[in-house]
Amino acid sequence: MKNRIILTLLGVLCFSISQAQLVDPVKWTTSVEKVKDNNGNIVKDQYILVATATMEGNYHMYSQNIDGENPIPTTFIFDTNSDYEVIGNTLEEEGHTEKVPVFDNREIKYFAGTASFRQQIKVLNDELSVINAEVEYMACDDTSCTPPTIKDLVFTIKSGGAAKVDAQSDEDARIEAATASGDDMDSDNSNRSLWAIFIISFLSGFAALLTPCVFPMIPMTVSFFTKQSKTKAAGIKNAIIYGLSIIIIYVFLGWIVSQVFGADALNALATNVWFNTIFFLLLIIFGVSFLGAFEITLPSSWGTKIDNQADRGGIIGIFFMALALAIVSFSCTGPIVGTLLVEAASKGGMAPLIGMFGFSLAIALPFTLFAAFPGWLNSMPKSGGWLNTVKVVLGFLEIAFAFKFLSQADLVLQLHLLEREVFIAIWIAIFGTLTLYLFGKIKLPHDSPLSHISVGRLSLGLITLSFTFYMIPGLWGAPLKLISAFPPPQHYSESPYGVGFTKLGGGGGGAVSEIPDGAHLLPPHDILAFDDYDKGLAYAKKVGKPVMIDFTGHSCVNCRKMENNVWIDEGILNMLKNDVVLISLYVDEENPFPEGVEPPESKLRPGKKLKTISQKWVELQTLKYKTNTQPFYVLMDHDEENLIKPRGYTPDIMEYKNWLKEGISNFKK
C-alpha cells in the first residue's frame, strides 16, 4: 500500500512541451477604392489603397505607432515614383490597447482577427496600372512571436472600381514548400508529450481508484457480475463490457473538451491572467473538498435515473452501470478529472482524449481483472480509514499545485505579490502540515480513530518531512532543482542572488578574463555569447568547442522563460559557460548592415535586398532549419553540421540538460 500511495503522489506531476514549427499566421489581401468628395462625387485620379490583414487563431499584430524599440510596429513602404503621389499617412483601425507585461507594462495598441489599413494616393500618370508596396510586421500570440516579416503588396488600379487581390507573396509559397520538404523537428517531442500525458493520467486514475468513492465499489461490482452471470465465461464477458464502458464514457468526455476548445484555444489561455486565477480558485475548492469540508456531487436525480436504466440488463444495462459508477464517484474523481482535462487540453490536439483514456484505463482494469479472477479479491486490502488518508493527501497536493497557477497570473501582471520566497514558504507550510497529518498530530472531519500509525503512513510522512526540509534553503536562494518547474524563477524574488547563489555563481568556473571580439556577457547569468554568426564560429574553432546557436528575440516570451527558468540549473549553466560557444541570433533587431557592406539579396524574396542583419538570421533559420519560431536551439560542429536534432521551447530541465549532454558528447567522439 505504501508503494501505491507514493505512486499516487508521483502521478500528479506533469510538464509541457511546445513544438517549434514554421508559422505564417497573417495573410494579406489588397483592394483599391475610388475617392469621393463630400457630395459623393468621385475625385478624379485619387484612390484609396486598402491592405487587409487576416490573423489566424490568437495571433495579433501591432499598430504603426509604437513607443520604444519593441514590439516591431507595422510599417508600410510604398514604391514612390513620379507616377503617383502619397497623400498623408496610412490610416489604421481603432484596434485594442492594453498594458503588456513583457514590454515593461507599456500600453501597446494591437489588432486581432482582421485589420485594414488605408492609404490615399493621387495618380500622376494615366497609364499607371499597378502600385507596389511592402509591409513589415510582427505577429504574436500569448506565448511567442514570429520574427519581423516583410510581405510584398500589389495594388491594381482599375477605373471600374475596387479590385481585390490576394497579396500572398512568393515568399509564402517558398515557406510552404520549405515546410513540406523539411522534417518535423519536434515530432519526437510531441510523441513524448502524449506518452507523458498518458502515464500521468493513468497514475492519476490509479489515485482516484484508491479513494473512498471508488475502491469499495470493486468487490460490490465483482460480486454482482459473479452472481448474475450463469457461467464464468459470461462473467468475464460482462466484466470486459463494463470496463470498456467506463473507458468509452471518459474518452467521450475528453472528445467533447477537444471539440469545444479546439487544438489551441486553451494553449493560448495558458498565460491568461483570468484563466490562471480561476483555475487557482477551482483547485483550492477541489482541495478543500478532499480535506473534508464539503463534497462536490452531481444531482442525486441523475444517479436514480441511471440506476433505473441499469436494471434493463444486457449490454445497455452494463453501460448504464458504468455511467452510474462515474456519477456516484464524482465527488472523488471530479476534481482529478477536471485537473487532468485542463492540463491535457492546454496541449491541444489529441491530448484530452489520450488523458481520459489513461485515466479510465486505470479505473477499468481492476474491475475487469477482479471480475475475471474473483479469487484475487481475498488479497485485496480491506476498505478503511486509509482510503480517506489517500483522499486527504490528494487534497493537500491540489492546494499546493493551485499556487502554481496563481504564481503564473502574478508573473504576467508583474505584481510581485507571490515572489519566489513567498511561494516556497507556502509550500513549506502545506507539506509541513501534511507531515503532521500523516503523523497523526492533526485530525480532519472524516478521519477514523487512529490508535497507531501504519508503516506505509509513517513512510509517506517521512518522505513529506524530508521534502519540507529540502525546500527550506530555497528561502535563501537555493535553486531547488527537484521543483524548479513550480516556483517563480530565481530573478522574481526579494533576493535574487541569495545565500548559495551569486550572479556569476552556479556556473562552475564560467568566468572569463577577457571578452573576445564580437562577444558579450549575456544577462542574467553572464554567459559568454556572440551575436555574429561568423565571429562565433571562428572563436569556436579557435577554442575547440561545439557551437550552440540560439535563435531568439527581444520580444520572445518563451526565450526569457528558458533563460530564467532552465538555464539557471547548475549543470546547464556550467555547460553553457564552459562546454559550448553560444551564438545568440536576435531576429527582431533593427540592426542595418555596416557602412560599406553590400546587403545580400533575399533568398525568400528574390530581387529584394535584406535591410537588416536580423533578416539574415531569419532566413537562415527558415531555410536551413525549416522553422521561424523562437526560441530554437541548434548544436553543431565546426563544419556546421548538426550534432543532435535541434530543439524548440523545452521547459523540462532534465530533458534540456540531456539534450545538451548528448550533443556535446557527440562532438567529442
Identify which has the larger pLDDT, 496 or 544: 544
Least confident range of 219-223, 294-298, 419-423, 659-663: 294-298
Count CB-CB contacts under 10 A for residue 157.
Answer: 17
CA distance 401 to 431: 12
Lowest mean pLDDT among 208-217, 511-520, 540-549, 599-608: 208-217
Give the pLDDT confidence score for residue 178 in this predicted structure: 42
Cell numbers 491592405 correspond to: 51
- Identify the residue with better confidence: 432 or 257: 432
For residue 546, name the pLDDT band (cuts at 50, 70, 90): very high
411: how many CB neighbours lie within 10 A of its CB?
A: 20
Residue at 529: amino acid letter: A
CA separation for the pair 193, 337 (Å, rounded): 18
Higher-scoring residue by pLDDT: 508, 601: 601
Report DSSP state, residue 101: G
Domains 26-181 and 519-668 share a fold: no
Residues pairing with 547 in the sheet:
581, 636
**Is a pLDDT exceeding 60 seen at residue 107?**
yes
Cell numbers for 119, please give them: 492609404
Decide if pLDDT at 117 tops 60: yes
On the question of pLDDT at 544 being above 90, the answer is yes
Any idea what DSSP says for residue 564?
I
DSSP 8-state assignment for residue 563 = I
How confident is the model at residue 542, as a pLDDT? Answer: 92
Compute the distance between CA of residue 548 and CA of residue 626 in angstroms, rounded to an integer.
Answer: 17
For 519-668, which CATH class? alpha beta
Q: Are 118 and 245 in contact (CB under 8 A)?
A: no
Cβ within 8 Å of residue 552, ≥6 positions away: 559, 584, 585, 586, 587, 630, 631
pLDDT of residue 379: 61
The residue count of the chain comes to: 669
pLDDT band at 263 (very low <50, low <70, confident <90, very high): very low
Domain ranges of the chain: 26-181, 197-414, 519-668
Instruction: Compute how many other C-beta atoms are within 10 angstroms of the C-beta atom of residue 85.
Output: 14
User: Which three three-digit cell numbers place residue 555?
Assistant: 520580444
pLDDT band of 386, cuts 50, 70, 90: low
Residue 252 pLDDT > 90: no
Close Cβ partners of 217 (under 8 Å, ≥ 6 residues apart): 325, 328, 329
- Residue identified by cell 517549434 is 20
Q: Angle at the Cα of 583 (from 577 to 586), degrees rounded to 5?
A: 130
Cell 563544419, located at residue: 639
Burial 30-46 (b: 16+ CB within 10 A, else e): bbbebbeeeeeeeeebb
- Read off the pLDDT of residues 130-183 as tens digits, 9 standing for 90 and up: 888 889 888 877 656 777 788 888 888 864 444 444 554 444 444 444 444 444
- Please report the pLDDT score of residue 163 as a whole number: 43
pLDDT recorded at residue 161: 41
Hey, is 262 helix, strand or coil?
Answer: coil
In the block, cell 489566424 appears at: 56
The candidate with the shortest Cα–Cα distance to 98, out of 85, 111, 116, 114, is 111
Q: Which residue has the higher pLDDT, 28 or 609?
A: 28
| Residues 447-487 pLDDT 10s | 777 777 888 889 989 999 999 999 998 888 777 878 876 78
Which strand (E) or helix (H) includes residue 244? helix 232-261
Q: Would you give the distance in Å from CA 355 to the centre of its chain?
A: 16
Q: What Å distances lie between residue 90 and 70, 378, 436, 555, CA to CA?
A: 20, 80, 67, 25
pLDDT band for 306, please (50, 70, 90 cuts).
low
Given a cut of 70, whether residue 405 has pLDDT beyond it is: yes
Amino acid at site 513: S
Q: Residue 57: which pLDDT band, with cuts at 50, 70 and 90?
A: confident
| Bond prior to 524 in cis (omega within 30° of 0) | yes
CATH number of 26-181: 2.60.40.1250
pLDDT of residue 636: 93
Residue 260 pLDDT level (bands cut at 50, 70, 90): low
Range with lowest mean pLDDT among 275-289, 318-332, 638-652: 318-332
* The pLDDT value given to residue 425: 93
Percent of the chain with pLDDT over 90: 13
* 544 vs 80 pLDDT, higher one: 544
Over residues 26-40, the pLDDT tens digits come to 889 998 988 887 777
**CA 611 to chain CA mean position, Å:** 33
Cα–Cα distance measured from residue 187 to residue 183, given in angstroms and rounded to the nearest whole number? 9
Residue 444 pLDDT more than 60?
Answer: yes
Across the beta sheet with 42-55, the strand order is 84-92, 114-123, 42-55, 26-36, 165-166
pLDDT at residue 385 in the model: 61
- Quick one: average pLDDT of 601-620? 81
Q: Provide the mean pLDDT of the chain.
A: 75
The pLDDT score that the predictor gives to residue 434 is: 92
Would you tell me how many other CB atoms lie within 10 Å of the CB of residue 518?
16
Look-up of cell digits 497523526: 440
Percent of the chain exceeding pLDDT 70 equals 69
Question: In a 3-state reduction of DSSP, which class is residue 389?
Answer: helix
pLDDT of residue 2: 37
More confident residue, 343 or 518: 518
